[in-house]
Structure 1
């Protein structure tokens, strides 16, 4: 290793390791007598903490930059540590009166990308201070050693992840059913939480119903087991389905016989393909269900004991209804998984991979409803109210749509009609469910608190819009919301599959862990042009939460380790800078209308202004002086959630961190059509890890397109600021028309139109690729380290 001199030793030592709030030492000391010698002090209390510095201050590390090269350690040979530390100390001016090694590591002198791992007064600071004074005057060392305690230091690891889900399920793992369930850590997110800490929180928890706590681990597991068929809805008894509750009948249900005719009546093929089930899944972007989800083929009896349910296999997003006695009805209906079911890789790639619940970026639900409308007219409702314009996205999380669910609630009707003049929210990429247990607020703009659970079953709201007994239909949601929420909270993110995508570079990931939690993106010398957000330490963790065991147990980061992984920071729009159409669509007028909406708890506890505490938290009567913005999501399983941003505008993580590299118009790669069916069927995105995944930049492979190629929607685009397009005119309508985004659509009649819906055009309304510009100040080496760390989450 070449030890190089640059200018400031510690700026380097911590460039890879520290920042203003970076970890207060949280290692475990063995206690005992004071160290008997300088060597004992070094080996027991200083050298173990140098491993934090070693993560970055080595050749090729994040600290191997001009300001960091004065403090370089050998990557593996620790026998050189004492000599290299002394040499660095001398180069940095010795004790003058305090060494710059301590000034940087304690945050007294900034910037330092590694934060402040040794705050003034901490055991780490004291140990290094004594050692450096011993360097200055060895004759006085014995007296100095008596001023500190003894024992060896054991630091917590930098890497580790609980993979999302809810704390309760981790706590109850392996425990008997009668074990009492502890409080929900998310309830700690109240005003004053983490005040002055590195992780900033401003999206407060609010309890919306009294029966949240399951009491025992047995009841928690029972809730989750009951919730599985309600939400997964893969042919189980009691499966939930489109506006049908979990009942064996529904207005929107249709015969499996009609589904069997799709190849002829919709696709116009000469014969039914042998792989018909797979082709349906490809066309709609909904993988075949991971469990048996049968339907009867032509001339099959769904209750044939040799073929229960039939020998066909439905995709996620469709289920066959069953009677209470378990018998099959031969009727089909769609489910929540049309938006919240997706896939990453194949089942054999690793645990949790393949078809999975609670993630998407694959489906085209408007194509699905358009196809079904040609088979079963009752399914045309959501074909008319188009739910997306780009495959893999949706347009569902806005109160303009929620209002349609209770449109027969006469008291709320005037408010609902008034908001149709407000902006449409446009394109959105459904967030993953495995992070539900780590959020205090839901929706991209934190529009409702996480405990506002009624909306989670809204797609299964019985008898919508024909509520002849509205009270009974609402009661169905109240009776099932805790079960469905428990199952959703139980889901875990998949681990990075090293056998398929390559081994994680542990050393690089450790650098990333330090940078993620410690690097202040607004440090003085970085000159970040984006306004600095309020609170926190300016790091990734400041918004997205703390994950590394080292920092999770650091009181400078979290009030309690129970807050691990919880992200509760709504970042002001002027800071995050991503497309603001979603935010504009949830206007104050919309918030006023929400006050009278049952899904916004108009019957719930109210504040001094008479507004429900579980209503729209963008309402000025609830959010107070918090600025409008977007909720930074938890990052468990982030490697598996591409594309990124709330509107799915950015293909990979590299481009999240390097805005200059984002494509303007792009299309994710599709699977090739089976032999003999080229040009006759529509295939879905390539979700295979071997062929479709970019393991370097972390996202799905894509092709960049140019304006003027092909047909709508991407022919109508240009990056000429003085030019005008048809979509510019439409944007005026969408920005002032509530459901106009959903209603103004050309009917989907050809496969070419379906293919065009795979194109992501960032010039289109609500699909801007800008934002997250503050990460431009990162170096490429730091970006690679951060990406490597995020593979571990």
Structure 2
């Protein structure tokens, strides 16, 4: 992530020149989705030609295979390598994760992390559990260097943030904290950080990307529910160091529409067969064991938005312990938080129990994506220490990713390929915690509960 955003700083593009062509009777939400696909709201990262040629810096034997492949095969290799996807909503060879202007300049967009597939099918608004940002940024850095295009450095005193340790995760928070550290309340870039940062811990926060369709249920955002839900808060992730306050102001109308779209996204229906008798029994298990935290789903339903203390939930503590409170206050007291008008909950001490709409599609589970299936979540002592997923497989029985389980990464795996293995011993990636209601359920009750969760 750090390398990607440093690379993006090479050429800032003028946002004032961007326009969204009007469409008849178009809602704000429809306009917001079209904006993501057609309007480059960030800074230039590369060109479409660069994306077509990035394979030229791949390590062997991947480079030789790409060289011998047809253009279509090479594109599929590129998409698979980085966890990108094409979408029917935008014809052409550019994946949904990027947006190009009329000159072929390419910017990354929100769908890099918030657009992904389940069982091989692109699912709008789903967190991208295949994204491989570290491999992409490494390749792009080599490609640009090979073509004599060195990136501009970040501000000298900008706090450094970590690269993602494995695919399927992002460290967007490390980037956002670094960006905001170098901006005052009015978003002017400063020479020194505006709040203290304990590097590297407070800028090494790998998390799984949640699906957009959960937003409509919430009044507060993020895994610890630390701030009220607004369109400005989602903008902080594009405040790369070269973006000016004027450009931020010009972006705001676009983000109002994007925010409207985010809150209109619907969860996908489970595509397989459901044992309705088991699901009815599972509903009773759910109401007894889960509803008080995760809400109810009959009729209008209800969602309590409860924050569960860390010592109760017991999941990986990094996001709670190392996330700087000073950053939260700086964010809320400045432009992003409308100078204090947006509600702030700076020290929640735990993780919010999320809504479970579309939970079948939202594997892997927990805030760091450390548990590959719902069965594993309900069977904590059997959770794998290391696992490797298939790209398109889905385990309908266990409800989650199709994975191979390991006690350790096999010998001989290259450093690059190690990123494909989820390793729960790494910082921030523990699969501990959330042991309830598993210890109180029989095997049959777990099966019934999973069938019910498929209906949400």
Q: TM-score, normalised by structure 2?
A: 0.83
Other-structure match for 1:343: 117
Q: Secondary structure at the match of 2:55?
A: helix
**Structure number with larger C-alpha Rg:** 1
Contact 1:422 1:590 (C-alpha < 8 Å) held by counterparts:
no
Other-structure match for 1:574: 311
The residue correspondences of 1:365-380 to structure 2 (distance < 5 A) are 365-376=133-144, 377=149
Q: Secondary structure at the match of 1:630?
A: strand
1:559-617 deviation digits (Å, cap 9, x = unpaired):
xx4xx25351111111111001000122434444445543344x243xxxxxxx444x2
Please say if 1:618 is aligned against 2:349: no
Q: Which of 23, 33, 41 is matched with 1:228 structurally? A: 33
Other-structure match for 2:64: 269
Contact 1:440 1:450 (C-alpha < 8 Å) held by counterparts:
yes
Please say if 1:510 is aligned against 2:280: yes
| In 2, Cα distance between equivalents of 1:265 and 1:604 | 47
Other-structure match for 2:10: none
The residue correspondences of 1:63-462 to structure 2 (distance < 5 A) are 222-231=27-36, 233=37, 236=38, 239-241=39-41, 243-244=42-43, 252-266=44-58, 267-269=62-64, 271=67, 273-274=69-70, 275-294=73-92, 313-322=93-102, 329-346=103-120, 353-376=121-144, 377=149, 385-397=161-173, 400-403=177-180, 406=183, 409=188, 413-420=192-199, 423-451=202-230, 453-461=231-239
Q: Secondary structure at the match of 2:173?
A: coil
Q: Secondary structure at the match of 1:363?
A: coil
Q: Which of 446, 451, 454 is matched with 1:788 structurally? A: 451
Query: Against the structure 1 CA distance between its residues 416 and 440, is the aligned structure 2 distance closer, same or farther, given a 3 Å change threshold?
Result: same
| In 2, Cα distance between equivalents of 1:598 and 1:419 | 24
Task: In structure 2, list runs of 5 or more residues that go unmatched.
Answer: 1-23, 155-159
Give the CA deviation at 1:419.
4.7
| In 1, Cα distance between equivalents of 2:182 and 2:68 | 37
Please say if 1:640 is aligned against 2:361: yes
Other-structure match for 2:335: 598
Please say if 1:705 is aligned against 2:406: yes
Q: Secondary structure at the match of 1:773?
A: coil
Other-structure match for 2:421: 759
How many pairs does the alignment contain?
414
Q: TM-score, normalised by structure 1?
A: 0.49
Please say if 1:546 is aligned against 2:296: yes
| In 1, Cα distance between equivalents of 2:253 and 2:369 | 34
Contact 1:578 1:772 (C-alpha < 8 Å) held by counterparts:
yes
Give the CA deviation at 1:381.
7.3
Contact 2:161 2:204 (C-alpha < 8 Å) held by counterparts:
no
Query: Against the structure 1 CA distance between its residues 381 and 706, is the aligned structure 2 distance closer, same or farther, given a 3 Å change threshold?
Result: farther
Contact 1:579 1:766 (C-alpha < 8 Å) held by counterparts:
yes
Query: Against the structure 1 CA distance between its residues 492 and 708, is the aligned structure 2 distance closer, same or farther, given a 3 Å change threshold?
Result: closer
Contact 2:384 2:407 (C-alpha < 8 Å) held by counterparts:
no
Other-structure match for 1:650: 371
| In 1, Cα distance between equivalents of 2:407 and 2:130 | 23
Give the CA deviation at 1:226.
1.6
Please say if 1:631 is aligned against 2:358: no
Give the CA deviation at 1:443.
0.9
Give the CA deviation at 1:634.
0.7
Contact 1:397 1:443 (C-alpha < 8 Å) held by counterparts:
no
| In 2, Cα distance between equivalents of 1:450 and 1:660 | 36
| In 2, Cα distance between equivalents of 1:784 and 1:418 | 45
Contact 2:127 2:210 (C-alpha < 8 Å) held by counterparts:
yes
Contact 2:56 2:143 (C-alpha < 8 Å) held by counterparts:
no
| In 1, Cα distance between equivalents of 2:153 and 2:366 | 29
| In 2, Cα distance between equivalents of 1:412 and 1:658 | 50
Contact 1:694 1:701 (C-alpha < 8 Å) held by counterparts:
yes
| In 2, Cα distance between equivalents of 1:286 and 1:514 | 39
Contact 2:162 2:200 (C-alpha < 8 Å) held by counterparts:
no
Give the CA deviation at 1:415.
3.1
Contact 2:315 2:430 (C-alpha < 8 Å) held by counterparts:
yes
| In 2, Cα distance between equivalents of 1:662 and 1:253 | 39
Contact 1:288 1:355 (C-alpha < 8 Å) held by counterparts:
no
Give the CA deviation at 1:316.
2.2
